[in-house]
A and B are shown apart, each in its own frame.
Chain A
């Protein structure tokens, strides 16, 4: 069992948990993920690592409530335990040799983009961050990004905070302003990552995307997380989760992501009802 050391709601649907997992904390690197199970009958869900404290022996995850499992996870209190917590899985984000990088995060994806930006910053890389949200109320990690970015652009779709722009527009402005990036790292909803690569392709800037397909074991055993990358089948859990954005077949990945949509919606409603009953 794995203890929840800290719990913090970042916005109404995004929560941060710090989990006691000393061995994972010792090895974790930005870009890697963990798999957890909330309880005995729980499903295994992958979540990318948002941070780690090697001294304290804790690993941080930030998640959005999207289905039954994240709903249950969100009801766990500080001091309570998670059934299973395994990692670090996948390959770390490669940062070697980079001098100037644009980090583009969208929504809860910013939680994963942040440790990457931080690592790059710590290694002396010039970091330009673009973080985008639907609206003001769900902006997260702004201060954290500010601390590790040479340039920070905060965008909202509705203009209620920061620039009224999509991250793609903000990124394109930066590129047009003459910034020459060695690489763009983009993490967020799959559709957003697809459009970001659409922009960077125009300017031929290498782009790394972080994929989070449906997964079970996370060690290469089930093949459920497979993607087509450069015409070849790759397993996100062992070959990724970072891939060259120009090579990823996003449309296929988007379709594969909807495999259990009906089940998930139904289960989430069930879970919500259950929690409502408990409250009564």
Chain B
């Protein structure tokens, strides 16, 4: 008998006033009791609209049914058939705009908490299952994957399972891409990412860190000199954007990428790390932007002891960040200064940030993106006293690979052009994730990695 409660089981979480001072995970995960209660809300409906909302087509009703049978490992296997990073997706996927958006239960009341169930199952597997996966029989084909973010890891995992000899090339010293340098520990513990990477290594995937493809070797060399028969480019959207306003190069102005990399990858907040970060205790920080990355930067600043303002040119309704992230940020004491836009950043005589001049905005007619476009209110400039500014305005694809690969076509925004199979303008070279789309989500990148793995398999099988 299905649980007909209109509400999802609440996710247990650290108290906001405790967690805003530590980097431990915010959401604590369902208990077994909660997971069974939530799983019972799934109607196991025939047409499975939730599955169509998932970029990697996780067979959602199947894994939920296994949960109701208390077969958690069976549930994990059901997810793992199509998703290589369940513990990651259960945490960072925007389920509200994907699987859960289409859940029948959402028509009247709240949808089934699919993401929360997935997280439970993945964590259960990670704590209870020790067996190393069986290395598949090698098929003799070599594939190179550039970038070890969600797209690259997914592509590598899918190909390795089919017996390909896969080498992942990572520019940084640690594998995981945005999962390690971008998303903070309190949303996605790095031990989980490491576990996923270790899982791939157990499948036979080689991970070569400190390898900047495009510099130390080109894609052509990978194919000609190192005999990789196919290449997947999952190099992400690297270059941070700035506003090009006066004062952006003052001391104390960070790109969100730099700020988050110092904290997440380099652990600058810890005593034992040699990497410095500006001391923010008792300081005021303005985060400019309204996406998930802005929320991460704001919440990290808060944890470093700052008073934090999110400055965004549209209104609360228009914030592109996930609702849950905004809610968490508000609970943690982040102050939202929406309908404001920075005009310039003002420095003291030492070149440090002293304040940021903003102008008030109002919303006009919807623009091309369908969102109401912000318009400046004349004469409404005001100074916001801040010690640091974090620009979180998005990123554009890193041009390094484009510049060093002949015949690789890119679009106006610098994204690599691919067809519906993930194939670029070069034979045997596939691409996916932010390198193609510009900044998007983890799960979309995984979907693209998955698609490319399928196409590479077909290509090399036919070849």
Contacts and interface: CB of A to CB of B under 8 A. Distances in A.
A181 B238 CA distance: 39
A222 B277 CA distance: 13
A86 interface: yes
Nearest to B251: A259
A69 interface: yes
A222 B351 contact: no
B350 A255 contact: yes
Interface string B186-220: 00000000000000000000000111100111000
A223 B240 contact: yes
B274 A267 contact: yes
B242 A219 contact: no
B172 interface: yes
A85 B400 contact: no
Contact of A222 (B173, B255, B276): B255
A43 B275 contact: yes
A42 B265 CA distance: 11
A143 interface: no
Contacts of A86: 171, 173, 210-212, 216
Contact of A23 (B181, B217, B399): B217
A88 B218 CA distance: 12
Contact of A83 (B173, B211, B261): B173
A258 B251 CA distance: 8
Given A41-B272, A86-B211, A222 B261 contact: yes
Contact of A88 (B216, B242, B278): B216
Contacts of A27: 215-217
Contacts of B212: 86-87, 89, 218-219
B191 to A, nearest CB: 16
Contacts of B210: 84-86
Nearest to A225: B258
Contacts of A227: 249
Contacts of A255: 250-251, 350-351
A222 B257 contact: yes
Interface residues of B, number: 39
Nearest to B270: A41
B274 A69 contact: yes
A252 B210 CA distance: 31
B441 interface: no
B398 A216 contact: no
Given A23-B217, A216-B261, A252 B255 contact: no
Contact of B216 (A24, A68, A216): A24
A221 interface: yes
Contacts, number: 113
Contact of B261 (A41, A221, A259, A263): A221
Contacts of B254: 224
A95 to B, nearest CB: 19
Interface string B220-263: 00000000000000000011101010001111001101100110
Contacts of A24: 216
Interface residues of A, number: 42
B216 A222 contact: no
Contacts of B249: 226-228, 233, 252, 256
Contact of A220 (B181, B239, B350): B239
Contact of B171 (A72, A217, A233): A217
A183 to B, nearest CB: 24
B194 to A, nearest CB: 14
B266 A224 contact: no
A42 B267 CA distance: 10
A255 B5 CA distance: 60
Contacts of A272: none
A221 B399 CA distance: 11
B273 interface: yes
A83 B174 CA distance: 11
Interface string A250-266: 00100110111001100
Contacts of B273: 41, 43
A43 B171 contact: no
Interface string A68-100: 110010000000000111111100000000000
B457 to A, nearest CB: 29
A279 to B, nearest CB: 21
Contact of A264 (B240, B248, B267, B276): B276
Interface string A26-57: 01000000000100011110000000000000
B454 to A, nearest CB: 29
A238 interface: yes
B238 A220 contact: yes
A84 B278 CA distance: 25
A250 B122 CA distance: 52
23 contacts: A23-B211, A23-B217, A27-B216, A42-B274, A43-B275, A83-B173, A216-B261, A220-B239, A220-B400, A221-B240, A221-B261, A221-B398, A222-B257, A223-B239, A233-B242, A233-B244, A233-B249, A252-B351, A255-B350, A256-B249, A258-B351, A259-B251, A267-B274
Interface of B: 171-173, 181, 209-212, 215-217, 238-240, 242, 244, 248-251, 254-255, 257-258, 261-262, 266-267, 272-276, 278, 350-351, 398-400
Closest 6 CB pairs of A and B: A255-B351, A222-B258, A86-B210, A223-B255, A260-B276, A263-B276
Given A89-B212, A259-B276, 17 more contacts: A23-B217, A41-B274, A43-B275, A68-B274, A69-B274, A72-B274, A83-B173, A84-B209, A216-B258, A219-B398, A219-B400, A221-B238, A221-B240, A226-B249, A233-B249, A255-B251, A260-B276
